[in-house]
Amino acid sequence: MSDDLAMVYSTGEDGGGPMATGGWTAVDDRRLVPALGGLIDGTGMWRTGVLASIERTGRYLTGTWDPPGPEGEDGPGIAGEGSWVRFIGRIGAVALRAAAASTRPERRERLLAMLEMWAESPFADPEARLRTGIVVTERLAVRDERGAAVSAGWSHEGRRRFVELRTGDAEPPSLGTVEEVRDVPRGWGSAEQLRRLVALVRERGPAPWHREAVELLRERTGMGRPAASLALAGLLTRGYVPFLDADERATLRLKVAEAEDGGSELARLTSLDRLELLADVLPEDPAELWEPDGMLGVAERLAEAWQTRYGPRTVVPERTLKAVVELQLLRLSAAEFCAAFTDPAAGPGLSAPLDTWIKNGEHGPLLTDARWDIVRFEDLLHSVVPRLSWVYAELPAGDPVREGLPGLVRLLLERLDHPGLLLRAGHPGAGSGRTVAELHERFGFRPYAGPERLDVASIDDGLTVITDGTVDRRGHRSPPRVYFRPAFYGDDERSQALAATTSGFGREDIPLVEWVRGPVCARIVERIEGASLPVGAYESDPAVSAPDLVARVADTLGIDGDAAALYLQLLALPAPTDRNVRTWNGWKTARHQKAATVLVERGLVTEDKRPRAGRQVFLPGEWIHAKKPYQPMEAWKAELIGLRRSYNRRLENPLPLPTRTLPELFAHAWSLVENGEGPL
């Protein structure tokens, strides 16, 4: 190494001495990990002293620090599992978090300390000839006149991450057998830029937050507003533990549920994804962040990086995203749910036919595919199909999510017709059989033949595949697992055998496949494609979806059209809350109250206050309570829509898949009233 290069990076009086400068040494870096959440891997391996280890690594590479022990046996120390080397050329991600208005103070101080240290290292030098990779070695460091290499993480099956600096003309010395190696990227984050950003944050405080920047990023990428907010704050993740506190949420203008949903939307990004997206979003001159449109520039650059990596996504109205957030989906974020409708062909498992098979797993056979798309496909199937009726009923005509429903259904049907797709069907029902041997008579004797031989017994009749359960250490056998090929599922003898075997609880994907292929789903698609509603109108408003019926109800009961429409909604809809009714019908409070008063005066409904009802008028008869997230309602209505009570007589089951379109449901409810079978 040249004397000049050594002088540049020297931070002590001699090569092995302590740092003489750098306020970062006074910062307790034990809690640096939460500040870096989502940007690093193996967080459980990060310990106190990581900054010092990284700093010594830089000085070892440049020849300004010597290990106390024998060369190669003692090194600068291990910082985490080594994913910190990805910060080289991508330190802009850390810098954005350090400058973001939402970052809590104690985390900001640790991030600034890291940037101060980084600015004094060769990792911030765009001229340094650095490479990183994977090496098979037990050595910790090696150095000679050609350069140096350092093991940067803990060993895993003999392999370690490493970082090397080349200072001569020849290849630098090697720690061992190199399996992967690559030049580091050259991104934002020179020593001068880092020092300036740190100084500006300390002098002026964090960069001002801009709501307009969030909106710009949302419009350019199709992200939900919560996810766009988290992205501009440094692509925060729910691994950023503890997650957003009240002050952070206030800065980002997010409610608790919105913050959780935004985190869910970004959850599939890897740490490397986040680093690469944020690497170059900061301005060349960090001072621009404090200009009135500083964060707008960040949003523009982040949007460009996002589109380059993932492509654009249809922008969904904010009101729609908020409504989906309130559904409290477990498997998809609100934005992912909406994208399934607006851009269905981009979704895993939907973009192309999906081939799945059964393989051996640690706890028994499991369903898999070449890229684990089956996980996303089943997430989508279980999130979307049960809520197709919600999209149809509670989003207005013209909404891009609602308008995308027919296309999504068609694509789902295509994928379900692919012979190579195998889905879960739960377990055999009570009395069907506890082992494969007990099911031979019904499903035959041919075993399942997949890419690998299964460790348990199996049968495969072409439609149904059943694998034996496994025996645990206590000798308990788990029940068999049932799978099916939806392409061959219909009403033939094999399908009837499958349906009978898996009847009851735990049928997994079968009911969803049956319903999406059924007549009600087809009629919902027809209603949307037939443009049966004017733009902005709701199917849940019978005045526009069933106007002739509203007129008949009004004439029969001697009431006006508004009261007749409200009565039908109270009869048939699961959640005719005041807010929902006014949204669906386009009513103001006074108009709504007037219609309700008419119904009360005629004795058709009663006034009351009931927990979680969200309304003041109710059908006569028994009321069934329900805790969140389930919907309380009248017993008569629960029976009408097929919602069963739980063992405790409450409503603690999800809404069933509908058996009628809304105009049909309104008509059926009214026919019961006309026949003297209405609520009493």
If the chain, 680 residues long, is cut into consecutive pieces of 10 residues, what is the mean pLDDT of each piece?
36 34 67 89 78 92 85 74 93 98 94 96 95 92 92 87 91 92 94 98 97 96 95 88 88 94 92 97 98 96 96 92 92 94 88 95 92 92 96 97 98 97 91 88 95 95 95 85 97 94 76 97 97 95 98 98 98 97 98 98 96 96 91 95 86 90 98 96
Contact 83, 159 (CB under 8 A): no
pLDDT at 634: 96
CB atoms within 10 A of CB 271: 21
Q: What would the DSSP string read from start to end of 365-420?
A: -EEE-SSSHHHHHHHHHHHHGGGHHHHHHHS-TT-HHHHTHHHHHHHHHHHHT-TT
In whole angstroms, give the CA distance from residue 666 to residue 674: 12
Token pair 């621009």 is found at 288
Provide the CB-side half-sphere exposure for 311 (13 A, CA).
7
Question: What is the rounded distance in angstroms from the CA atom of residue 585 to the CA atom of residue 319?
Answer: 16
- For 152, 245, 496, 567, 587, the CA distances from 31, given in Å and listed in that order, are 20, 16, 59, 59, 53
Q: What is the pLDDT of residue 419?
A: 97
Q: What's the pLDDT at 14?
A: 31
Q: What is the 3-state secondary structure (H, E, C) of 499-531?
A: HHHCCCCCCCCHHHHHHHCCHHHHHHHHHHHCC
The DSSP symbol for 178 reads E
State how far Cα 510 lies from the chain centre.
24
Q: Which pLDDT score, from 0 to 100, does residue 504 have? A: 61
Three-class secondary structure of residue 607 per DSSP? strand
What is the topology classification, in CATH, of domain 542-674?
A: Arc Repressor Mutant, subunit A (1.10.10)
Range list of β-strands (E), 513-636:
606-607, 617-618, 623-624, 633-634
Predicted confidence at residue 238, as pLDDT, reads 81
CA–CA separation, 92 and 680 (whole Å)? 67
Give the long-range contacts of residues 172-175, CB within 8 A, separation 24 or more: 172/144, 172/146, 172/147, 172/148, 173/142, 173/143, 173/144, 173/146, 173/147, 173/148, 173/149, 174/135, 174/142, 174/149, 175/135, 175/137, 175/139, 175/141, 175/142, 175/149, 175/151
Q: What is the pTM of this model?
A: 0.85
Cα 336 to Cα 342: distance, rounded to the nearest angstrom: 10
Give how far the C-alpha of residue 186 lies from the chain's centroid of Cα atoms, to the nearest Å.
30
Please name which of 474, 482, 477, 513 lies closest in space to residue 498, comparing C-alpha atoms: 482
Q: What CA–CA distances, in Å, run from 511 to 112, 231, 503?
A: 54, 38, 10
The H or E element containing residue 149 is: strand 147-151
In the chain, CATH 1.10.10 sits at 542-674
**Token code pair at residue 192:** 């001068």
Question: Are 328 and 257 a contacting pair, CB within 8 Å?
Answer: yes
Written as six digits, the tokens of 111 are 């991030």
